[in-house]
Structure 1
Amino acid sequence: MKPGPVLRAVFRAPVWLYDHGLGRLLGHRFLCLTHLGRRSGRAYRTVLEVVGARDGEYFVVAGLGEGADWFRNLRARPPVEVVIGARRFAPRHRVLSEAEAVEVFARYEHRNRWVRPVLHRVLGKLLGRPYDGSAEARARMARQLPIVGLREAGSGRPG
């Protein structure tokens, strides 16, 4: 089922901000990832929530799982660019291990504890079963919804 024109416009609004040099208004909570289509080679931009950052690496969740187009594109070709705040860089990426993903998401949940009921409801919908924030539920989430680390190419830990 494809979203209607109004919903598509809502989802594209953050990309519009980046297109017009206003992405910095979203701060470091979101980033704009430019990636290449795995078949077409066409450049696409996707705005993703940053669920964590450490040592110059930004973590984003493939909220639709391994079937997310941007995630499948990264599997086929390296990402082109990341814009976060006023920073723009050519990235390299890696998919976090289950243990790393659980740790990153535990910190994200702790930082956002005031919206925990909403977060748990949304994650339950994405995962197809109730999500309660337990260690078991978090591990299941890490297996179903990959977390990708993005950092500037040529810096720090290898991808």
Structure 2
Amino acid sequence: MTYRNSTPIRPPLPVGLRRFVARLPVLLFRVGLGRVFGQRLLLLHHTGRMSGQSRQVILEVVAYDPAHGTWIVASGFGPKAAWYQNLRRQPQAVVQIGNRRYTVTAQFLPPEEGGAIMARYAPRHPRTARRLCAFMGFSVDGSERSFREVGQSVPFVRLAPTTAQSLP
């Protein structure tokens, strides 16, 4: 795996029209249209680490384990992403899939597990995996090894239900 420079370039946070477009799915979830995203996106309700106020962010589901009812998400903006830091401070949160809500606890995965997850994700979604890697500043050659190395550099979080709930 090679980087554009010597280290991965973290993408800039969207502003203006790009931020509005990026936040549009949140509005769709709020008006009850979250089901249009199926199981691919979730809305994470979490608590701001500084303000203590409720925050929301849309995240792509990298993997779902129906046996345990857990979702795995990645922080494309790295460990400095606000939602990631907020979960580090307060790991209890709520996820919304479609129109259903689940109380979850965030579990932060080690780099080796992140590498394995990315190596499994890339063959299932090859174009998306390449675009995500490019967006995050990584250059991959399409091999399992290169995606595994990217996965070891990206923070992954498992969102596990805190109580027995009826899961999708």
- TM-score (normalised: structure 1): 0.84
- Where does residue 91 of structure 2 map in the other structure? 78
8 Å Cα contact 2:42-2:58 kept in structure 1 = yes
Q: 2:40 aligns with which of 29, 46, 66?
A: 29
**Cα gap change, 1:140 to 1:87, in 2 (>3 Å):** same
- CA distance in 2: counterparts of 1:78 and 1:94, whole angstroms: 8
The equivalences for 1:63-74 within 5 A come to 63-74=76-87
Write the letter of the residue equivalent to 2:88: R
Distance in 1 (CA, whole Å) between partners of 2:159 and 2:58 is 13
In the TM superposition, what is the alpha-carbon distance from 1:7 to its structure 2 partner? 1.0
- Equivalent residue pairs, number: 151
- Between the aligned partners of 1:33 and 1:4, the Cα distance in structure 2 is 20
Asked if structure 2 preserves the Cα contact closer than 8 Å seen for 1:105 and 1:138, the reply is yes
Per-residue CA distance 1:7-33 (angstroms, 9 max, x = gap): 111011000011111111111000000
Tell me by how many angstroms 1:59 deviates.
0.7
Q: Aligned pair in 2 of structure 1 residues 121, 47: CA closer, same or farther (>3 Å)?
A: closer
CA shift in 2, pair 1:143/1:23, >3 Å: same
Aligned to 2:5: none
Q: Which amino acid aligns with 1:69?
A: A
Alpha-carbon distance in structure 1 between the residues aligned to 2:117 and 2:52:
31
Task: Say which structure is richer in helix.
Answer: 1
Q: CA RMSD in A?
A: 1.9
In structure 1, runs of 5+ residues without a counterpart are none
Q: Could you tell me which amino acid in structure 2 is paired with residue 31 of structure 1?
A: L
Instruction: Give the corresponding residue for 2:102.
Output: 89
Query: Counterpart of 1:15?
Result: 26
Q: Kindly indicate whether the alpha-carbon contact (under 8 Å) linking 1:66 and 1:144 is maintained by their aligned counterparts in 2.
A: no
Name the SS for the 1:90 alignment partner: strand
Gaps of 5+ in 2: 1-11
Give every structure 1 segment of 4 or more consecutive aligned residues whose post-TM-superposition deviation is greater than 6 Å. none
Identity %: 35
> One-letter code of the match for 1:17?
L
